[in-house]
Amino acid sequence: MINIKKQRKSLPEDKEIYLSELMDKRQELTGDLAKIKEEIEKIQSFLNTLKARGRVSASSKVYPGTKIIVRDAREDVRNEYRAVTFVLENGLIRVTKYEEPDEESKQGPDGFVSN
């Protein structure tokens, strides 16, 4: 619509209103995105301060298509798993047998709780 406006120099009134609404919504979403990125950075910095090794434990099923993120490494699960732990080793995520999470790893950054 912006390209059409540039070509014609104007738009019908209803389309001008719609364009204005879309631009407002875009600005709102851009602001939300910036806040979310800032929150992700805070969480990442918290995770980097932890001395515990990175891992994600799943006591029941992990379905294909699940995205596992440990610190800054990401893994897309391709197979179904039961009772496994995903461990970060040398920048790569490896699947091992299930390990019960310890109390320290259950703590999250302020305002966040891991179950």
DSSP calls for 22-44: HHHHHHHHHHHHHHHHHHHHHHH
Gyration radius of the chain's alpha carbons: 22
Cα–Cα distance, 37 to 3 (Å, whole number): 30
Q: Please report, in tens digits, the pLDDT of each residue of the chain (115 residues total).
A: 666 666 666 778 888 888 889 999 999 999 999 999 999 999 888 877 776 667 889 999 999 999 998 877 899 999 999 999 999 888 889 999 998 887 665 665 555 555 5
Residue 54 has a pLDDT of 77
Residue 114 has a pLDDT of 57
Residue 66 has a pLDDT of 94
Residue 45 has a pLDDT of 84
